């Protein structure tokens, strides 16, 4: 007697649930990062580009850690849910900051930056989510 596995039923991802879940951490991260970038522009030559980017990445990583921890608390230690939350939040933050860079003029590199920054921040968001869920599993 052989037991055949029942085929898995495909269910579409409801992105509205994820967008509601990541809304406030993403908004806070964007407000902080854009305010910091405006402040650094007003400072003029006081901060170098590398310093601005380091502080920006610290803000982004804080948002990703917050989202991953909230994902673990609300949905359990589910890696797929954390990954989708991390990718969506990273995509939104990366796209918003890439579009923000267009404020001081249009240059060719900024169009390429739309793709690279959005993708890079989305990948980092998913990796942070995976790490937080993995670290949460180790504690148990």
pLDDT digits (tens, 9 = 90+) for 21-57: 899 999 999 999 999 888 887 776 566 777 888 999 9
Is 125 part of any domain?
A: yes
**pTM of the shown model:** 0.83
Location of structure tokens 């249009």: 106
pLDDT at 64: 95
Number of domains in the chain: 1
Nearest to 59 by CA among 83, 84, 94: 94
Residues in the chain where the model's pLDDT stays below 50: none
Is 38 part of any domain?
A: yes
pLDDT at 4: 64
Give the domain extent around 91. 15-139
Is 67 part of any domain?
A: yes
pLDDT at 47: 62
pLDDT at 40: 81
pLDDT at 120: 96
Is 127 part of any domain?
A: yes
């Amino acid at each position: 007697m052989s037991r055949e596995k029942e085929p898995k039923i495909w269910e579409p991802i409801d992105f509205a649930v994820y967008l509601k879940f990541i809304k406030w951490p993403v908004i806070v991260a964007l407000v902080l990062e854009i305010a910091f970038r405006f402040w650094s522009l007003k400072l003029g030559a006081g901060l170098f580009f590398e310093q601005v980017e380091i502080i920006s990445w610290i803000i982004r990583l804080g948002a990703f850690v917050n989202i991953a921890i909230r994902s673990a608390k609300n949905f359990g230690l589910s890696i797929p849910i954390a990954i989708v939350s991390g990718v969506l939040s990273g995509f939104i933050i990366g796209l918003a900051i890439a579009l923000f860079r267009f404020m001081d003029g249009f240059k060719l590199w900024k169009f390429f930056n739309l793709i690279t920054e959005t993708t890079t921040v989305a990948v980092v968001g998913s990796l942070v989510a995976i790490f937080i869920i993995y670290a949460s599993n180790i504690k148990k």
